[in-house]
Amino acid sequence: MNLVEKIERLLIGLLILLLIILPISGSVGDPSEQLEQIRSYSRAYEFDYVSWTVSALGRKLVQSSLKIDHYLPQSEKRKLVLDYLDLINQANRLQEQLTTLLADPNQGDQDVGELEIRTNLNQKSIERQTLTPYVEQVLQDQINTALVNLDMSQGGQLIPPVLYRSDPDSYALIVSPRDEIRQAANLMLVRDLSLDEILLLEESIEKNLDLSALVVGIGGVGLYPSMIIESSNLDWLIHVISHEWTHNYLTLRPLGANYGASPELTTINETIADLSADDIQRKTFELFYPEYLPPVPQEEPADPESKTEFAQATPPEELTEPQEGIFDFRAEMHLTRLEVDRLLAGGKINTAEQYMEARRQIFWENGYPIRKLNQAYFAFHGSYAAEPGGAADQRGADLGSLLRKLRSTAPSFRTFMKQVAWRWRLDQFQTLFDQMP
């Protein structure tokens, strides 16, 4: 190894260390009294960032020694990924069969059927665990290649390279004041929480601290390596990995380093991460899965649990979209948010909360089973403006429109990312917007 290669590896190592440290300190380093009060209830359920990161990095080191990209042809890599996604689908169907069997009082000999399903589930789990490290490495390599094709490498190196680890599920606790929609806390929680534990945590915070609380399932977290929740949906999976890589990329630049400096900068970060993921996802499909290339995004209703702060929401395995003209989720949620903002601005907190519960029931009746609609829900889902409409307030919608126009007028993906990554104040973005055609 020559001197240049040694310097490059040392630089990449230092950047990776920075990416590991920043998200951890940003998540739990706030010394505010209110956050400590919240954590007095959540601490027993909080996620251990350090242990997970050390474990994930160890897993990446082992994977790098496999060198699957050196000996497996591209066609076999594709097959490996698609077979893995089908395996997850089979496991999901078996889990549904088991749930139905155990819940059906009219089933005869349940023990025999239950044993057969559990045996098959166990076999699928073993197969999945065996394939996961290889699939992670293949997808990392494919998305890294897409980024190189998008001219994002520097001196032959992508900084940071795409690294992610799959996990079955994860949760986050979102807390907002009752009199305004704002994230007072966003704390990642351990896996496998029961519904009783979730309800107890939410109710304890709301009753004792007079705050709005919500525990949500999440699909990805901007650690390094990124945590990505397991999914059989290739479209969703590549988009989330790309979204989280963009956060890692921005963390090394002023925009990402100032992620939480203001609600506007949070919205800008999240919107850019989504716009970036659209480009990376499309390039990945063009190169490796052209027959599954997603259509150009259209302005239409989306899944209600769509995204999270520094995270993506749980994967939509099967979505049933409402028929056109029947119920427009995005438009209805946007109207709901506007009315809630109006009521809270007028100091009508109880009225706003009653209104949200009434609206939740309407969403439920129209095929959107939202467990809880409150201030924390909007604080969680309101940081995204990559798509028109939705729950975001008018400020977020304006920023989204301007950022979408900025991306559409930029001559390349690289140009767009360089334009935004080195700005860290709203007035700097306003100057950039003013210069657009």
Predicted structure pTM score: 0.76
Residue 139: Cβ within 10 Å count: 24
For 311-355, give the secondary structure using H, E and C.
EEECCCCCCCCCCCCCCCHHHHHHHHHHHHHHHHHCCCHHHHHHH
Q: Which residues pair with 312 in a beta bridge?
A: 307
Residue-wise burial string across 302-316, b where 16 or more C-beta atoms lie within 10 A, e elsewhere: bbbbbbbbbbbbbbb
Q: Which two tokens stand for residue 420?
A: 């935004």
Q: Which two tokens stand for residue 285?
A: 């499909």
Comparing C-alpha atoms, which of 207, 175, 210, 208 is closest to residue 189?
175
Q: Please give the chain's pLDDT, 437 residues, in tens.
A: 544 344 445 445 555 555 555 554 333 334 468 899 999 999 999 999 888 888 888 888 877 776 666 678 888 999 999 999 999 999 988 888 887 777 666 655 566 678 888 889 899 989 988 899 899 999 999 999 999 999 999 877 899 999 999 987 789 999 999 999 988 999 999 988 888 899 999 999 999 999 999 999 888 887 889 999 888 999 999 999 999 999 999 999 999 999 888 888 988 999 999 999 999 999 999 999 999 886 665 544 444 443 333 444 444 444 344 445 578 888 899 899 999 999 999 999 999 999 999 999 999 999 898 999 999 999 988 766 555 544 444 444 588 889 999 999 999 999 999 999 999 999 999 999 999 98
Q: Which two tokens stand for residue 204?
A: 């304890």
How far is residue 401's CA from residue 160's CA, in Å, rounded to a whole number? 28
Q: Which two tokens stand for residue 267?
A: 């919205």
Domain ranges in the chain are 67-149, 165-184+213-434
> What value, to the nearest 5°, has the Cα angle with vertex 391 and ends 389 and 396?
70
Comparing C-alpha atoms, which of 378, 218, 285 is closest to residue 78?
285
